[in-house]
Chain A
Amino acid sequence: MAATDRFDAIVIGSGVSGGWAAKELTEKGLRVLMVDRGRMVEHGEDYPFDGKSAYDIPARGRMPAALAKSDYFALNGWVSPATQPFFINDRLNPYDYDAPNKFNWVRPSVVGGKSLTWGRWSFRWSQADFEANKKEGVGTDWPIRYDDVAPWYSYVENYIGVSGARENLPYLPDSEFMPPFPMNVAEKWLKERLENEFPGRKLINARLSNITEDKPEQNRTRCQKRAQCDRGCSFGAYFSTQAVTLPAARTTGRLTLRSDNWVTNLEYDPAQKRVTGVRMVDANTGQVEVVQARMVFLCASAMSSLHILLNSRPASSERSYFHSNGALGSAVMDHIFRVGVSGDIPGMSEFVEYGRRPGGVYVPRFRNLGAEDLPFKRGYGFQGGAGRQASAPEGFGLSMKHGMREYGPWRFTMGAFGECLPYEDNRVMLNHSKTDRFGTPLLRFDVRFRDNEIRMMDDALEQGMLMLRKAGLRNVTGGRGEHVPGEAIHEMGGARMGHDPATSVLNKWNQAHDAANLFITDGAQMASVSCVNPSLTFMAMTARAADHAVKQMQAGVI
C-alpha cells in the first residue's frame, strides 16, 4: 500500500460484519481499506483440509488434548487439526479474567474471521425481541424496531442465500428462503408427535446460510452434503467473507485489503468529535502506521472492537475517549449453551440417511411468549437433528467387527441456545498492568451468568427431556454442563445502541454518539441478544448502517 493512497473509509475486521461493510461501501463508490489482524486466506486455495478424508488429516482429526488446553483453551476442546489453522493461539495472545469468572473468548486468526468456521444457523429477530428491554424495564431500550431492519434482512438474505421453510410464526419471522434441507424420516415422526403433545410448540427445518440452489453469478455451488463446513468450502456453499462479500468488494476495484495488521486504537480529536486515524501494527514486522480516512467502520468482533475502543485514549490517561458515560464495555452478554438432551427414536429401522446435511431441525422459543408465570425472563430455542450411527462395539474380534456393520437406532440430539439479560456490571475493561506483544493492555473480562440464566438452563433441561419423553423417545438422557460465558461464541454488547447518549454508545444508525464518523456494526452494538443466532442480524445492521453512512457522507455531514 503506497503512502499516497487515500481512503474514504477504513473497515476494521473482515468477518461477517466487516465483509459486509467492505462490500456495501465499495459498491457505493467509496475507496475502502479493510484491515484484519489475521493472515490471508484465499477462497478455495487456502482451505488445506477441504475435501480431505479423515485419514488425510493429521492425527485423524484428533487434537492432542494438551495442545488444545495450552494453546487453544478458549475453544474448550472444540478444535481439531483441520480447524486449528483458522483459530488464534490463546497462549501467545492472552486475555485476562479472575479465576471464578472465567471467559472463553474464541477468536479467529484469519481474514474472514469467524465467517469461515461459524455455525451458519440464521434467524431474524422478532418485534418482541426488540421490545423486550423496554417492556420488562431491563437494560436499555433499543432505538429501532423490527420494521427498521426487515428490509435489510431481505436485502442480505437474497444476496447470501438462506435455506429454510416458511412458518409464519410471529416470534420467528420468516426469511427470504431458498428451499430447506429436508427433515429425515425420524425427524418428521418426531415433529408430528411433539407438536401434538405440546400445542404451540414447533419443530421446524433448520434455517441455514448454506445454499440449496446454485448462485452462478457469485460462482457458488449449492451444498454438496459433505458436512465439512468449518474446514472452508471450495463450493462456496455457505456464507463466508471469502465466498460472498470479499469477491463482491474486490470486483469494484476500490478495495485495499491488508492482512496481518493489528489495530491497537483509534486516534481521536475531542474538539471536533471525530476519529482522525486508525493505528495498526504489522504483526510480522512490528511496523506501526496510522492510516486516515473520512470514516471508520469498526467490525473487529464484539470484544475486540471493545478492546480497540477502550484503548483509544489520551497518552496520559487510562480512560477511553469513548468512555464518557460509563456505557462502554458494560452489559456484555453471551447465549446460554450448555444444555443438551437426546433419545432414541423407535422404529423406522428400514431407513437410513444418505448424505450429510449441514444442519437438522429447530425448536423455536416457546417460553414467555404470552402471560406465563415462569421464574425467569425471555426464552430459549433448541437446535438438533436425528441420525443413525454404527452399533456400539460388543466384545472384540469377528463378532464385534461384524456387529459394527449394522446401524444402531435413530438417535435424536438437541441443544439449547438461550437469552442472557444485559447486566450493567457484566463488563470488560483494560488491565493496565499486563500488556500483549503489541504493548496494548490486556482485555479483562468480568462476566458471569446470573439467576435468570441458571433458571433458564434448568427449565431448558427439564422441558427438553419432557418433550422427548412425551413424544415417545426411549433412553432419554440430558445434561447441563458448566457454562463458561463466551462458549456459545455469541459474545455481544458493550457498545450498545440506544436513544440516550448518556446510557449508550451508538445511535440508531450504529453511529457513535462521540464520533459522527465512527460506525460499529458487529456484536458490540447489541442492547439485548434474543435467543436466536446473531450473525444474520449483524449483516442486516451493517448494510443498513453503510447505507446511512454513505448518505451522510454525500450530504457532507461526515
Chain B
Amino acid sequence: MDRRAALASIVGVLGANIFAPLARAIAYQPNPVINTGAPEIIFTPAQRALVTALSERILPTSDTPGAIAAGVPEYIEHMLGDWAITDERATIFDGLAAIDARSMADYKKPAVKASAAQQDALLTLAMNGELPGGTPFFEAFRQLVITGYYTSEIGITQEREYLPVPGEYDGAYPYAKVKRIFSS
C-alpha cells in the first residue's frame, strides 16, 4: 500500500475521519523518539474506570474478545497522554464529565456504577447530541476504540483474519470462503 492509497484505505477501515492526537513537548527533543514504553498517566482512577467500561460497551465481548481484552483502554490513555494536545483531550474529558453528570441526574450514581443498559442509554444520548459536547465526544471516542481494537493483536488475528504473507493474489476470491474478513 503506497502513500497514495493509504489514506483512502485507513478511512475505509475505520469508517471515520482520523482523530488527530498530537504529541507533547516534542519541540524540545533533538532526536524525536516515539514513546513505546509506559504511557503518560492522564486519567484519574474514576475516569480510567469509565473509559474502560464505555470501551467495552462500544466493542463488547461476544464470540470474540472485546475492547478490554484487546487493551483498548490502555491504548486510549496512551494516545491521549502521549499523542494529544489539550484541546483534543478536552473533547474526551468533557464528554466523560457530561456522561457522568447525566448519570447522576438520571440514575443517582456515577456512570461507571450504572448498569450496562444504562451506560448504553448514556452513550446513545451522546451519539444523538443530547448531551453537552456529546456528538464530538462520541465520534472521537468511538474512533479511538475502533482504531485501538482493529489494530490490536486480538482485532487483527481473532476478530479478523490476518495474512502476514499471502504469497498469492486472487482478485475474484469467493466471499463464501471468507470466515472472517481479512485484516489489511
Q: Which residues of A line the B interface, CB within 8 A? A: 51, 53-55, 58-67, 70-71, 78, 81, 84, 89, 92, 119-120, 181-188, 224-230, 342, 349-359, 383-385, 387, 389-393, 395-398, 400-402, 404-408, 411, 413, 415
Residues of A near B23 (CB, < 8 A) are 64-67
Taking a contact as CB atoms under 8 Å apart, the answer to whether A226 and B166 are in contact is yes
CB < 8 Å: which of A66, A188, A383, A396 contacts B127? Answer: A396
From B62, B85, B169, residue with most partner A Cβ within 10 Å: B169
Taking a contact as CB atoms under 8 Å apart, the answer to whether B168 and A225 are in contact is yes
Residues of A near B26 (CB, < 8 A) are 64, 66-67, 70-71
Residues of B near A413 (CB, < 8 A) are 5, 8
Taking a contact as CB atoms under 8 Å apart, the answer to whether B181 and A405 are in contact is yes
CB distance from A312 to the nearest CB of B (A): 30
Taking a contact as CB atoms under 8 Å apart, the answer to whether B12 and A350 are in contact is no
Number of interface residues of B (CB under 8 A): 70
CB < 8 Å: which of A62, A84, A184 contacts B171? Answer: A184
Complex: chain A residue closest to B171, CB-CB: A184
Taking a contact as CB atoms under 8 Å apart, the answer to whether B4 and A225 are in contact is no
Question: In chain B, residues 1-43, which have Cβ atoms closer than 8 Å to a Cβ of chain A?
Answer: 1-6, 8-9, 12-13, 15-16, 18, 20-24, 26-27, 30-32, 34, 36
CB < 8 Å: which of A188, A224, A389 contacts B184? Answer: A389
Q: Which residues of B line the A interface, CB within 8 A? A: 1-6, 8-9, 12-13, 15-16, 18, 20-24, 26-27, 30-32, 34, 36, 57-60, 62, 75, 78-79, 82-83, 85, 120, 123, 127, 142, 146-148, 151-153, 156-157, 159, 162-176, 178, 180-184
Taking a contact as CB atoms under 8 Å apart, the answer to whether B169 and A60 are in contact is no
Separation of A226 and B12 alpha carbons in the complex (Å): 18
- Please list 5 pairs of residues, one from A and one from B, whose beta carbons are closer than 8 Å in the complex, sorted by A's number: A53-B162, A55-B153, A351-B173, A352-B178, A405-B159
Taking a contact as CB atoms under 8 Å apart, the answer to whether A356 and B166 are in contact is yes
Taking a contact as CB atoms under 8 Å apart, the answer to whether B123 and A398 are in contact is no
CB distance from A123 to the nearest CB of B (A): 15
Taking a contact as CB atoms under 8 Å apart, the answer to whether B181 and A60 are in contact is no
Residues of A near B78 (CB, < 8 A) are 59
Taking a contact as CB atoms under 8 Å apart, the answer to whether A350 and B34 are in contact is no
Residues of B near A359 (CB, < 8 A) are 2
Known: A59-B36, A407-B175. 7 other contacts (CB 8 A): A53-B164, A59-B82, A59-B83, A67-B23, A225-B166, A351-B174, A389-B184
Taking a contact as CB atoms under 8 Å apart, the answer to whether A398 and B1 are in contact is no
CB distance from B32 to the nearest CB of A (A): 5
Residues of A near B178 (CB, < 8 A) are 352, 407
Taking a contact as CB atoms under 8 Å apart, the answer to whether B156 and A53 are in contact is yes
From B3, B6, B24, B165, residue with most partner A Cβ within 10 Å: B3
